[in-house]
Amino acid sequence: MGIDVAIIVINEREESRVRRRVWGTTVVLVLLATVAPIASARAAGDGAPEPAPLERLFDNRAVSDDTRPAEADFDGSGGSLSAIDLKAAGWTPGRALTVQGARLTWPRRAAGEPDNVRADGQSVRVRGRGDALAFLVAGTEGTAVTGTGTVRYAGGARSSYRLTAPDWRTGPLGTKAVALPHINTPGGQLAEKARLYVVTVPLIRGREVASVTLPRNRHLHVFALSVRPESQGWTGSWAASTSGYTAVGPWTDRTLRLVVHTSAGGPRVRIRLDNTFASAPVRVGSATVALQAAGASALSTPVPLSFRGAAGTEIPAGAQAFSDPLGFEVPPDTNLLVSFHLPGTITAAPVHRLARQTSYVSEPGDHAGDGSADAYTSTLTTWPLLTGVDVGGGPGSVVLLGDSITDGERSTVDANRRWPDVLADRLLGQREVPHYGVLNQGISANRVVADRYPGDGVSTDTGGVSALHRLDRDVLAQTSARTAVVFQGVNDVRWGATADDVIAGLREIAARGHERGLRVLVATIAPCEGEARCTAAADAQRVAVNEWIRGNEDFDGVLDFDQVLRDPERPARMLPAYDSGDHLHPGDAGLAALAESVDLSLL
């Protein structure tokens, strides 16, 4: 009698639960050093169809020329995407787009030709090793559509995945890759947003993908898919979330010189630029990196960066660009100057508003290579476009998902006294745990379950989309992320959310993080009595959330920041010595106390 073999990929938390013999089956445990997605794998050979490249399977027309809208029927009702709108967004046929670290190619098809697959169990040839499978998708059923598919790996193993595609007309703008301003119909063009999404699902790390079987849901349309490679050999040293899309400048033929503070150091460097929430491409003419001497002055001549071998790059709407690896010694705990020339006219840009750092704008011209500060005559208090700096080597990164307290509101400008900065200093100054990079993904005014910035269009609101809507981009796709710390909720309860709302959001964050192999910690919500919106009713909801946090089993650990900051004599308010004066945000002393309270072994 033959013996069936089940290979179960587990993590350390699951080992004791599944280490047992199952009658008639030999169970082989693959215990990963880092947490990996739990997925079953077994020998293939079940008569699956021979895989084919996705483009050979295209069976639906989604894109039409504005003058010939009847040539496409994306949704079964005659609706289609505008080829002109796609071109205006930089999404041209055959264009490679990087979104959430995955490189996807927009179909090389003319308007009116088949350009996507209606998912119906097709077997698609896909190759590569990575941490996630990325799909460029949209649904056409009026609501999100879901289905289950299979990934097959070299050697015969396989794992299942669940894919959800938001609707192309009603899906959330906060998670879309791009939104187009019109929908074409045979009866005329509608001034209604058409949305496309990039959705990722976990893979078994270390295994080579051989093919992917799509779900069976013909309202789920797939335009492209690829394996997102793991960021091996890199550690995230600095990051900032895009908090909104705001009017800037306008800047014409200007160079931005942004000052950022590193956590981890390394012998190589690369930067990441994100055109998040945009509707049009942005052109970067050149870019450099240097150590800061003072102000906009470089310690030595700035070193040029390149993008796929070129001096500059064009970033389509909603996409991102990584610079090529550069041999450049980046010290830990130091200020870098990242400079890039914008040759066109920029009237609006994706920004991180609360930089708490002075950066610089030049007079007209490409001054990215200037060592002196002479051309940089204007200052800037936001970080436009730049979202990450990675360094070579290192042990990986800790991602801090938070609101204004994590963002550093009320901390001293240009002093790097945010609690993530102090935590990075603590990591560098000890030998108990690795010197992880610390990535600050705090956004002032951000909430767990509700968007402040709507996710599309130029807006003065820079409170960001919700933590749930930005989790994939700001945590799961971050370079070498191994642990996430969630410290949010005060803005939710201050603006009327219930404890149940916040708890449900936190539980979803934990589940999604664990699915991707992350260790996920949660912090209790700090007290804020005395601030106008911190009413007794809001505090009751805060206390209820904190009670759940302290006893929860969803997260891997708890940081009791409420206990650190509160006044023992009056627990609903912050200890006066830690209060910045507005009763909501700690000052430098309070932020330092948060960082000092963290048990580094939890990271």
Beta-bridge mates of residue 379: 360
Can you give the pLDDT at residue 543? 98
| Distance between CA atoms of residues 600 and 603, nearest Å | 5
Domain spanning 395-603, CATH architecture? 3-Layer(aba) Sandwich (3.40)
Strand spans (E) along 154-243: 158-165, 178-180, 194-202, 209-213, 216-228, 234-239
Task: Identify each DSSP E strand in 362-402 by its residue range.
Answer: 378-380, 383-384, 386-392, 397-402
As a whole number of angstroms, the distance between CA 22 and CA 31 comes to 18
Average confidence (pLDDT) per 10 residues, the chain, 603 residues: 34 34 31 33 54 98 97 98 98 98 98 98 97 98 98 96 98 98 97 98 96 98 97 96 98 98 98 98 98 98 98 98 98 98 98 98 98 98 98 98 98 98 98 97 98 97 98 98 98 98 98 97 98 98 98 98 98 98 98 98 97
Burial of 377 (0-12, 13-18, 19+ CB in 10 A): exposed
In sequence order, what are the beta bridge partners of 111?
none
pLDDT at 41: 38
Spatial contact of 36 and 515, defined as CB atoms under 8 Å apart: no
User: How many Å apart are CA 435 and CA 266, to the nearest integer?
Assistant: 11
Is 117 within 8 Å of 209 (Cβ atoms)? Answer: no
* 3-state SS, residue 1: coil
DSSP letters, 131-178, are SEEEEEEEE-SSS-EEEEEEEEETTS-EEEEEEEE-BTTTS-GGG-SE
Query: Phi-psi bin for 282: left (phi > 0), alpha (psi -120 to 50), beta?
Result: beta
The domain segmentation of the chain, as residue ranges, is 4-41, 54-228, 231-390, 395-603
